[in-house]
Amino acid sequence: MTEVTPGATPSKRKEDTPLEIVRFIAIWVIVLLAIRTVFLEPFNIPSASMIPTLQVGDYIFVTKYDYGWSRFSMPYSPHLFDGRIWNTAPHRGDVAVFRYTQDNSVDYIKRIIGLPGDHIQMRGGELYLNGTLVPRKSLGAYSVMDENRVPQAGIRYLETLPGSAGAAPVTHQILKQTDEGEANDTREYVVPEGYFFAMGDNRDNSGDSRFQRDNGLDLGYVPMLNLVGKARFVFFSYEAVHPFWQFWQWPFEIRWNHLFATMH
C-alpha cells in the first residue's frame, strides 16, 4: 500500500511523449512480426479445394516451425538467405500452406500426398500410392456451397494415407464428385528429390499437382523450399450468406460446430 503524507501533493504521472509512443508501437510491431515469422500465422480459406476438411470462410492457424524456415516464412519474402534453416521434411498427410509454384506471392493450401521417390496415380477416381490402392470408406452423400454459392455435391469418404518416416497412418475426409476426367485417370507421377506432391481434399475441384502441363499455370510438383507452415486448427469459421449490414444474422453465420477443428 502506497502511503501519502498528509498535506503533500501526489506526484503526477509523466505523460508519454510522441517519441515514446512511436517506440512502444515499433516494439509491438517487431514482436508481432517475429511471432508471425517464426511461430504462428493466421490464414483465411477463400476457395473450395479443401472441402470437407476446410470450408470457405474458415480462418486457420499455421505453425511455421514444423518444416524449418525459408524466405517464404517472412512477410514479403525478402531474399535474405537461400534454402531452409533447420530443415525438417513434411509428413505424408500433412495439410500445408506453401507458395504457388507459378507466383511466389500467392499462398496455397493442400494436403501432402507424395514425398520424394513416391509413385502416385489416379485410376478410375481412386488414388494409388506406390502401386497400392489407398483405402477409403464411404460416409455417404455430402453437399456444401463453394465460394460462388455453387453446390459441391458428391460422396464423402474417409481416406487413409500410409504414414511416412515412422509416423502413423493419416485418416482424413475427401469429397468425390465424379470418377471421370483427366484428374481421375492420370499417368504415374514420380516425385523428384526436393519436391512434394499436393492434392486438395475436394478431389474434383482442386488445381493441384496432378496438373503439370507446360502452360505456366499448373501447380506441378512443389519445391520443399516453398513450404510456409503446417495447418493446425480452425479458430473461426464464417459463412457469409447474408449482406454484411444485416448484423442480426451474424451469430447464425458462424459455423459453431466447426470452430477449433483440427487438421487430419
Domains in the chain: boundaries = 20-258
Band (pLDDT 50/70/90 cuts) for residue 1 is very low
Could you say which of 47, 49, 164, 237 is catalytic? 49
Q: What homologous superfamily is domain 20-258 in, according to CATH? A: Umud Fragment, subunit A (2.10.109.10)
CA-nearest of 41, 110, 44 to 74 is: 41
Averaged pLDDT, 176-203: 96
Confirm whether 110 is a catalytic residue: yes
Band (pLDDT 50/70/90 cuts) for residue 8 is very low
Give the pLDDT score at 2. 41
Does the pLDDT value for residue 37 go beyond 70?
Answer: yes
Confirm whether 176 is a catalytic residue: no
Cis peptide leading into residue 162 (ω within 30°)? no
Alpha helices in the chain (DSSP H): 18-38, 250-253
For 199-258, the pLDDT digits (tens) are: 999 999 999 999 997 666 799 999 999 999 999 999 999 987 777 788 888 888 999 999
Model pTM score: 0.87
Would you tell me how many other CB atoms lie within 10 Å of the CB of residue 179?
A: 15
For 91-110, the pLDDT digits (tens) are: 999 999 999 999 999 999 99
Cell of 114: 507424395
Alpha helices in 65-133 (DSSP H): none
Helix (H) or strand (E) holding 103: strand 103-114
Distance between first and last Cα of the chain: 53
Helix (H) or strand (E) holding 119: strand 119-123
Maximum Cα–Cα distance across the chain? 91
Which residues, 6+ apart, have CB-to-CB distance to 142 below 8 Å? 52, 153, 154, 155, 156, 175
Could you say which of 110, 164, 176, 209 is catalytic? 110
